[in-house]
Amino acid sequence: MSATTWTMAKALNQGLAKALADDDRVLLMGEDVGALGGVFRVTEGLSARFGTGRVLDTPLAESGIVGAAIGLAMRGYRPICEIQFDGFIYPAFDQITSQLAKITARHEGSARFPVVIRVPYGGHIGAVEHHQESPEAYFAHTAGLRVISPSTPNDAYWMIQQAVASDDPVMFFEPKSRYWPKGEVELESPAAGMHTTRVARGGTDATVLGHGAMVSVLLQAAEVAAKEGTSLEVLDLRSLSPIDYGPILRSVEKTGRLVVAQEAPGFASLGSEIAATVAERAFYALQAPVLRVSGFDAPFPPAKLESVYLPDADRVLDAVDRALDY
């Protein structure tokens, strides 16, 4: 199998290029995605290669981006929208949740809406307000959307192509703090579908679960724990809706302990949903309550406080210790 080493930004760029090359109904649209290549340069060179008729620098209006994408999908196109930053998605919230999410059901099978919405999200980049948020739970809560988030360059490369190939709307959350670290990318075929939970590191004493940038924090925690003699199994959720519970339940059957970590505030979060479901489905396997490690239930703070706000390996290990002490 041929493989290469790319950053996630490069892997996404190459995945998008492949999607654009494979199907001329695929369009890329958003603010600054053309000549600039996007504020994170994820779409760099795509406008030059595919033309301004395929890679659209749009007016500065997020609801317009998603609303127009819905119309383009009605016409048979497969638009990929870029929302520039997590905190700028709310002007498009109505078009995403009231229209895109419900419009397939409204058509009762007579139309499909293959729209992908790419959203760079999460903290760790020292940015100003509205640029470091984790709004994924809003969309996971909304039926009609598929919600996924890669944590590695390899997953980014394949999952963006799988998202474009899906006939359903897909919210594609890109952990922007992971755009630049490099990783190996398999070029021949994907290891898994876009809706599977991945075992990122095997272990036996406790399971830690997260998605996006949190996965690297969990792997870091597992390294530290290993030195202390504790074996952590690390799961990369990858799919936030639907959630692939098989690997999670299998892991919990083995370890008896689960810690769910997320950058988002914990109240009514993905971690809450997973904790409830695991309690329902694996009650007798659990040796301790499922514990959540989250951002605080407060607006994302000014950047100088982000390292206090965001869960780090120590906060994850603190929860692991509490789970092991039960």
Q: Tell me the catalytic residues.
A: 131
Which residue from 164, 163, 210, 185 is spatially nearest to 313, judged by alpha carbons? Answer: 210
Site string for another protein, 162-191 (x = CB under 8 A): ----xxx-----------------------
Does 106 bind another protein (CB under 8 A)? Our answer is: yes
Which of 7, 14, 43, 58 is in the footprint of another protein by CB under 8 A? 58
153 makes contact with another protein (CB under 8 A): no
Of the pair 99, 294, the CB lying nearest another protein is at 99
Shorter beta-carbon distance to another protein: residue 140 or 317: 140
Report the C-alpha gap between 237 and 269 in whole angstroms: 14
Q: Is 22 in the site for another protein (CB under 8 A)?
A: no
69 is an interface residue for another protein by CB under 8 A: yes
Among 7, 14, 43, 95, indicate the residue that binds another protein (CB under 8 A): 95
Q: What is the rounded CA–CA span in Å between residue 101 and residue 86?
A: 18
Residue whose CB is less far from another protein, 93 or 296: 93
> Which of 17, 32, 63, 125 is in the footprint of another protein by CB under 8 A?
63
- Nearer to another protein by Cβ, of 111 and 191: the residue is 111
- Position among 91, 190, 289, 301 found at the interface with another protein (CB under 8 A): 91
Backbone angles phi, psi at 279, to 5 degrees: -65, -35
Select from 59, 188, 308, 325 the one that contacts another protein (CB under 8 A). 59
Among 46, 55, 72, 320, binds another protein (CB under 8 A): 72
Handedness of CA 263, 15, 62, 124 (dihedral sign): positive
Q: Find the binder of another protein among 23, 64, 93, 192 (CB under 8 A).
A: 64
74 makes contact with another protein (CB under 8 A)? yes
CA distance 168 to 252: 31
C-alpha to C-alpha distances, 192 to 150, 156, 207, nearest whole angstrom: 12, 12, 21
Q: How far apart are CA 196 and CA 102, in angstroms?
A: 24
Spatial distance between the Cα atoms of 169 and 106, rounded to a whole number of angstroms: 14
Q: What is the CA radius of gyration of the chain?
A: 19
Alpha helices in the chain (DSSP H): 8-22, 46-50, 62-74, 93-94, 101-106, 136-140, 153-165, 214-227, 245-255, 270-281, 306-309, 313-325
What is the per-residue DSSP string for 146-215? Answer: EEE---SHHHHHHHHHHHHH-SS-EEEEEEGGGSSSEEEEESS--SS-TT--EEEE--SSEEEEE-TTHH
* Pick 94 or 314: Cβ nearer another protein: 94
Nearer to another protein, 53 or 229 (CB): 53
Least distance (Å) from another protein to the CB of residue 66? 8
Instruction: Provide the binding-site residues for another protein, judged by CB under 8 A.
Output: 27, 53, 58-59, 61, 63-64, 66-77, 91, 94-95, 98-99, 102, 104-114, 143-144, 146, 166-168, 242
